[in-house]
Structure 1
């Protein structure tokens, strides 16, 4: 019998044998409109404290000094911001504001759901939007996904958090090396129209 047909994935942590349960994303995640959290000014400055986010590739648009209408996400109660048009998403575990109404703020419906696990499931959905419409309600909330026990969700999400941390560390190292290279290039080679660096 094919294990995938009865809800058992090919790769698992030792000790987990229960089949995964099929659920719709809309059954495990609730959504909130971003209206109360939209920033009123795009006068961003790094000296301010509140990040302004987008669900697009840029993610962090800047920082605002606005103190009202802040979405209070935390490490113990994170959320997912989902771009309703591009279907891009980000896992957020800190307080924030948003720039656009074209996103949904997704939260777990139950304490038996690990938000990081669901974020990874959501990120793995291979869906290319074919039209300029809002996709959470019309498409994504209806998608079937496989959900393991909470303990197994947690183990999986911890693995992905470790990988995310490792990737971030290497990205910082890469940026540092690029800056070193640019500094050396400027010191070693003359600029256009100059004979010495």
Structure 2
């Protein structure tokens, strides 16, 4: 039996022309910071102005399929001061569920403006000096966060589990090119999804008007 370990690949199968350097193995904890959410009392919810306070359910709000554009709850600077909350100002960041059934859905969203998040969620703030925003968003789509789930009454994981994830990272210029490609694909997908939804609505209207 051979004791030779199989070497992991240091570059992807497909690359942009002109890039030949090996990708560097790093841990997410070396490239950014993980923040867990906080309690959000019902008495503080329902605001329409201020800083967004994201919950898991906000990921399903129309328009938030890729990035968190809107929230169902906003909080004022007065609320933030009174409750001693600390908004996540290190943006861009990746937002995702950390506990409950939503963890198994493995959804991630990009956040570009300061925000707060409830205690069922978590966010990864990236170091913009070493990580391209669009590349990191695409990278997180390849990470199966559900595989980190700890055995217990509720599926969950913690910040340390995220920080220990190993990734392969190209230089910042190659990151930008990869990120731009996947953003264009996301935009194309979103555009076609809107067309599909419009056609579904038209079909439903015709079914109601053309059948007795």
TM-score, with structure 1 as normaliser: 0.75
Q: What are structure 1's unaligned runs of at least 5 residues? A: 191-197
1:64-83 Cα deviation digits (max 9, x unpaired): 45333595779xx4211121
Answer yes or no: is 1:28 the counterpart of 2:7.
Answer: no
CA change 1:72–1:33 in 2 (3 A) is closer
Corresponding residue SS for 2:173: helix
Aligned: 1:123 with 2:141: yes
| Deviation larger for 89-98 or 170-179 | 89-98
Partner SS for 2:60:
coil
For residues 161 and 37 of structure 1, the distance between their equivalents in structure 2, rounded to whole angstroms, comes to 32
Q: How many pairs are equivalent? A: 182
| Deviation digits for residues 16-64 of structure 1 (CA, Å, limit 9, x no counterpart) | 111100001111121223339888544377xx68655334652558534
Deviation at 1:89, TM superposition (A): 1.9
User: 1:119–1:62: structure 2 CA closer, same or farther, 3 Å change rule?
Assistant: closer
1:141-152 → structure 2 map (5 Å cutoff)? 141-152=163-174
Higher helix share: 2
SS at match of 1:135: coil
CA distance in structure 2 between the partners assigned to 1:82 and 1:111 by the alignment: 23
RMSD (Å) for aligned C-alpha atoms: 3.2
Change (3 A) 1:186 1:81: same
Dislocated runs of 4+, deviation >6 Å: 36-39
Question: Which of the pair has the greater relative contact order for Cα pairs under 8 Å at 6+ separation?
Answer: 2
Structure 2 unaligned blocks of 5 or more: 1-6, 65-69, 81-85
Q: Does 1:104 align with 2:107?
A: no
CA distance in 2, matches of 1:12, 1:134: 35
**Structure 1 residue 90, shift from structure 2 partner:** 1.1
Q: Whole-Å Cα distance in 2 between the matches of residues 106 and 38 of structure 1? A: 23
Structure 1 position 114 matched with structure 2 position 160: no
1:88 and 2:95 matched: no
TM-score under structure 2 normalisation? 0.70
What's the counterpart of residue 193 of structure 1? none
Q: Which moved more, 1:137-146 or 1:181-190?
A: 137-146
Sort the Cα spacing of 1:97 and 1:155 in 2 relative to 1 into closer, same or farther, 3 A.
same
2:17, 2:40 → 1: CA distance?
A: 42
Matched, 1:156 2:159: no
The answer to whether the 8 Å contact 1:50/1:66 transfers is: yes
